[in-house]
Amino acid sequence: TFEEIGNKVLLSGAIWRPGEYGVTQNQRISDLITLAGGLVGEEASPHTGQIIRKGKEGLEKLISFDPEKALMHDPKNDLVVEPLDTIRIFAAAEIEPDIRYISIAGSVRRPGEYILREGMTVRDLVLRAQGLTADSSGELELARVTRGHNSDIRQIKIDRVLKKPSDPDNLKLRPMDRINVLAQGDRLLEYEIIIIKGEVRRPGPYALKQRGERLSEIIKRAGGLTSEAFPEGAVFMRKTEQIFAQHQLKAAETIQSDLYQQAVLDLQADLMRAGANISEVAAAGSESPNFVIPKGEGFGNKKDFEGGKVEGSVSLSKLFVDKGSTDISETEIESSKAVKEETSRFTGKDPSSKFLKQENMRIPIRLDQAIQKVGEAEDLALRDGDQIFIPPIPTTVSVIGAVVNPSSILFKQYQGISYYINRVGGFSTGANHARTVIVRSNGEVFPLRKTFSIKRGDVILVPPKAKLVPRNKLAESSQIAQIFGNLAVVYKVIKP
């Protein structure tokens, strides 16, 4: 290489004969340019040249000069050349803004920047990008830089241009042009399936014709409803992932877990205020994840409790007392064991919501209104994986919860809730009348005070009251088990 020969330099760039040249003492840049045939007038930059010079310990130094002034023997630019110098004369195109490129984006197979060739048209660039993708709308926008700070935007039907190169819209491209091929957002890129079952004439899976196909349309394609169909009770299921975003599900799980743990602590506090000793309950509850009740003053230990003595604690059937020794009866020990067993079953459960974890979720719909009011809010747009079940006409109304004899009663038109409550024997002791709810057959739930009529297929749900039994009965193990069993289910749901 030229570096192995100490008296040579390398000259490159916009000169007629670039290459290696031998140098003599006090030889200057103008001498080398003349030896190389001079500057290429059309290409050379009139003001830019550089020398890369080897310094001490191998370090390189960059020196700039003006080639034209060097040729005029300007001492500041016509520098003395040293052995091993690398000299470059820059072409004008190398330092001016690069305007030889055009770009294409959007619904094409290979979006990106392309070199502008002479005579290149819109059609040529789309073909260079390997054509359109499946979601292309058949239209594109051509953005062209104009004088000033504005762009000229033109809408072009690319399908027509691809078929006919002589189309007037097949414009010649200019430097810096940008093409954006528009997509059709509602176009199906692959088939999407929904399933319809029950009281339709042709049940089964159906492929959506287009995105946004509505409920009323799919019922029509399925041949319509049968004479036994009950559209008011239609069950509509949708994939959970299409209802909630993943971050929403995680946030809901966290909130659910926090509320669950708080409910457990509130329950323990209420029992303590009622006079129940829950030192054993605390021990059982602390075995569950994220649930810790610290032991301190007023809490006994297992050894003393089983031995019939409790230090600094009280029995289940008594009020809290000062520190001291209190005799514990066998009945109270059995009661404590029952409390421990019931509370352990409660606190050890997974606090996360099964509702949020299920693959599909039910969305209450009013199919009868969707069929009557096509295209309106009740006429849902369908998505991949949706499932629709249309039941037969129901003949009963169910009454469950805190009633004497929960059961289903034959539906009778124009009868109110009292008719059905009376048919199951009335409310049981401890029924929470005010919080009775009506569950419609389509999945909607309404409080009793906002419901003016009972319909076919309704479920009347009467919840129990969250009420602690008197302190003098807390020692009975069966009642303690019942307290924990009931409160575990309804405590947070119906607590004001």
pLDDT tens readout for residues 20-32: 998 888 899 999 9
Contact 328, 308 (CB under 8 A): yes
List of residues 6+ apart from 242 with CB closer than 8 A: 383, 384, 385
Domain 2-95 fold:
Outer membrane lipoprotein wza fold like (3.10.560)
- Distance, in Å, from the CA atom of 351 to the CA atom of 260, rounded to the nearest integer, reads 6
470 or 122: whose pLDDT is higher? 122
- Distance, in Å, from the CA atom of 267 to the CA atom of 276, rounded to the nearest integer, reads 11
Q: What are the φ and ψ backbone dihedral angles of 104, each rounded to 5 degrees?
A: -140, 140
CA 211 to centroid of chain Cα atoms? 20
Q: Where in the chain is the domain with CATH 3.10.560.10?
A: 2-95, 101-183, 394-462
- Distance, in Å, from the CA atom of 342 to the CA atom of 285, rounded to the nearest integer, reads 10
- Give the side-chain half-sphere CA count within 13 A for 481: 8
Report the percentage of the chain scoring pLDDT > 70: 68
119 or 350: whose pLDDT is higher? 119
- State whether residue 417 is helix, strand or coil: helix
CA 390 to centroid of chain Cα atoms? 31
pLDDT at 193 over 90: no
At residue 166's C-alpha, the angle toward residues 160 and 168, to 5°, is 75
pLDDT at 484 over 60: no
Per CATH, the number for 394-462 is 3.10.560.10
- Distance, in Å, from the CA atom of 4 to the CA atom of 267, rounded to the nearest integer, reads 90
pLDDT computed for residue 80 by the predictor: 92
- Distance, in Å, from the CA atom of 74 to the CA atom of 338, rounded to the nearest integer, reads 106
- Distance, in Å, from the CA atom of 182 to the CA atom of 177, rounded to the nearest integer, reads 16
- Give the side-chain half-sphere CA count within 13 A for 236: 23
> What mean pLDDT comes out for the span 235-256?
77
pLDDT computed for residue 147 by the predictor: 61
- Distance, in Å, from the CA atom of 208 to the CA atom of 283, rounded to the nearest integer, reads 57
Per-residue pLDDT tens for 318-356? 333 333 444 445 554 554 554 455 445 555 555 555 555
Q: What number of other Cβ atoms are within 10 A of residue 118's Cβ?
A: 5
Structure tokens given for 362: 């039910």
Mean pLDDT estimate for the chain? 76
Report the percentage of the chain scoring pLDDT > 90: 23
Q: What are the φ and ψ backbone dihedral angles of 51, each rounded to 5 degrees?
A: -120, 130
Contact 364, 443 (CB under 8 A): yes
Contact 60, 86 (CB under 8 A): no
Structure tokens given for 185: 């957002």
- Distance, in Å, from the CA atom of 406 to the CA atom of 402, rounded to the nearest integer, reads 8
Per-residue pLDDT tens for 30-72? 999 899 888 876 555 566 889 998 877 778 888 989 888 888 9
Per CATH, the number for 101-183 is 3.10.560.10
Contact 179, 141 (CB under 8 A): yes
Lowest mean pLDDT among 43-57, 362-376, 444-458: 43-57
How far separated are the first and last CA of the chain, in Å rounded?
91
Alpha-carbon torsion 476, 480, 486, 492, what sign? Answer: positive
292-297: long-range contacts, CB 8 A cutoff, minimum separation 24:
293/265, 293/268, 297/323
C-alpha dihedral (418, 424, 429, 430), degrees to nearest 10: -60
- Distance, in Å, from the CA atom of 465 to the CA atom of 456, rounded to the nearest integer, reads 28
The H-or-E segment that residue 412 falls in is: none
98 or 10: whose pLDDT is higher? 10
Contact 421, 448 (CB under 8 A): no
